[in-house]
Amino acid sequence: MRLEANPTRLVVVGLVLIGAALAVAWFLRNFERRPMDMDVGWSLAARRNPFLAAESLLRRLGHPVEAVAGRGPLRDLPPTRDLLVVNGLGPLNQGRRAALQAWVEAGGELLVTALEPSDGDSPRPDDFLAGLGVRLREAETPGSAQGRVKVPVTFTGEPLPLNLSAPARLYLEDTADRAQSAALAEDGQARLLQVPLGRGHITLSADNRFLTNAGIGEHDHAALLARLAAPADGGKVWLLYDSAVPGLLATLWRAAPQAVLAGALLALGFVWHLGRRLGPLEPQPERGRRDLMEHLEAGAGFLWREGRAGQLSAAARGRVEGAWLRRHPPLRALGQGQRAAWIAARLGLAEVDVERALYTPPGDAQALVTDGALLQRIWVAAGG
């Protein structure tokens, strides 16, 4: 048996192959593979550590460097031959201030940025820099002091000053006149101060842009960092890029991650347990219609549970009394007590029992049963 070729199918396959060849030729003619540089922004390490570029520069200069976050270096101060660079010192309690001052007096070098401007003449008691007589001030007319200014910084033995970019609206004020050297801008205000303290020094700047990844490449910031962050022989540079107090969750995670994970798993297990079924499934209720007596029993049970027992016997009492009034019309002219007395005399019953059964709602279950039986007897005697 021989298969015959289908001309239509051959034409369609040929056209598809020709179209595919033309598409490949057009793509190869109009596109080519070449490398491209794309700006993807800061890396994760640079976003986390604003002193990453400064750390790399100091390492290339041959200085031992360690970049850390948290307040560990402020709690456990390094050896006095080291240099400590702090990104925003923040408030310190009396013990921390005294320890840091003693560390500098013993020969430590501290490079720090003023955190926030001081208002008025009364500094905060927990401001370490204000205790040294140095305050960060804000220009009284900030509208005329926008942007940044260039500040020349001179060093002994250097023929030319190094240019520093500083905020125009912020400046440092040496209220105690303790600064050994100062870098002044054209407005005559200081943006960089060096205050001697014992055998060490504290270098203060109006802001820290010259230390950060974004600003270290501007002006002479890299050279300025190399001069200011040179440790003593055998010393080490500590870059404290984040001195903020961590939150409770961060502290717990750092101190006991296993306990945090165990607590999270326990919480998930508890939530999952709440959604589980307790006990066996109840049978599917039948969808058949209820008997009338079941409805009556359900209604009576609901009224009894809701404390409305009087409504259970109100209709029965009214119906029994109505039957006697129809059979004996003179009873309509009598009051309730007289009617009860007349009916009791006719049936040979106690007047008080008949009056309670006809006109008093039952107080408890026993009274409901007793009164119900008596109403049944009165109803039969009326010919109901």
Residue 150 resides in a domain? yes
Same domain for 145 and 63: yes
Same domain (yes/no): 225, 330: no
Residue 283 included in any domain: no
d(CA 211, CA 230): 14
Domain membership of residue 171 (yes or no) is yes
Quote the CA–CA distance of 164 and 4 in Å, as a whole number: 88
Residues 240 and 307 in one domain: no
Q: Are residues 238 and 313 in the same domain?
A: no
| Rg over CA atoms, the chain | 48
Give the confidence band of 5 by pLDDT, cuts at 50, 70, 90: low
Q: Looking at the structure, tell me whether residues 331 and 242 fall in a common domain.
A: no
Residue of 99, 223, 88 lying closest to 160 (CA atoms): 223
- Cα separation, 374 vs 321, in Å, equals 13
Determine the structural domain holding residue 349 and report its residue range: 300-381
**What pTM, to 2 d.p., does this model score?**
0.52
Among 154, 172, 171, 173, CA closest to 163:
154
276-314 pLDDT per residue, tens? 777 777 787 776 666 666 776 777 677 777 766 667 677
Q: Is residue 288 part of a domain?
A: no
241 and 311 belong to one structural domain: no
The candidate with the shortest Cα–Cα distance to 215, out of 143, 165, 273, 255, is 165
Predicted local distance difference test score (pLDDT) of residue 205: 82
Best mean pLDDT range from 146-150, 200-204, 264-268: 264-268
Residue identified by tokens 């009576």 is 300
Q: Is the pLDDT of residue 12 over 70?
A: yes
Residue 198 vs residues 40, 93, 105, 203: alpha-carbon distances, Å: 47, 21, 4, 14
In a domain, 30, yes or no: no
* Tokens at 11, concatenated: 């034409």
Which single residue is written with the structure tokens 């179209």? 19
> Is 164 within 8 Å of 209 (Cβ atoms)?
no
Please tell me whether residues 74 and 182 are part of one structural domain.
yes
Q: What's the mean per-residue pLDDT of the chain?
A: 78
256 within a domain of the structure (yes/no):
no
Structure token digits, residue 310: 């009087």
**246, 271, 287 — which closes off a domain?**
246
Q: Are residues 215 and 137 in the same domain?
A: yes
> Could you tell me if residue 135 is inside a domain?
yes
* Residue type, position 55, single letter: E
Co-location of 97 and 177 in the same domain: yes
| Percentage of residues in the chain having pLDDT higher than 70 | 84
Q: Does 243 or 329 have the greater pLDDT score?
A: 329
Write the pLDDT tens digit of every residue in 325-353: 888 888 888 888 888 888 888 888 888 88
Residue 320 CA to residue 269 CA, distance in Å, equals 63
Here the tokens at position 13 are 């396959």
Q: What angle do CA 353, 357, 360 make, to 5 degrees?
A: 110
Rounded distance between C-alpha atoms, residue 231 and residue 61, angstroms: 11
Number of domains in the chain: 2
Tokens 């750390």 correspond to: 55
Q: Say whether both 322 and 228 belong to one domain.
A: no
338 in the same domain as 228? no
Q: Does residue 139 sit within a domain?
A: yes
What CATH number is given to the structural domain containing 217?
3.40.50
pLDDT (tens digit per residue) in 217-231: 888 888 888 888 878
For the stretch 38-90, pLDDT in tens is 665 556 777 777 888 888 888 888 888 888 877 777 778 888 888 888 887 77
Count of CB atoms within 10 A of residue 73's CB? 19
pLDDT at position 3 is: 47
Q: Which residue has the higher pLDDT, 141 or 153?
A: 153
156 and 232: one domain?
Answer: yes
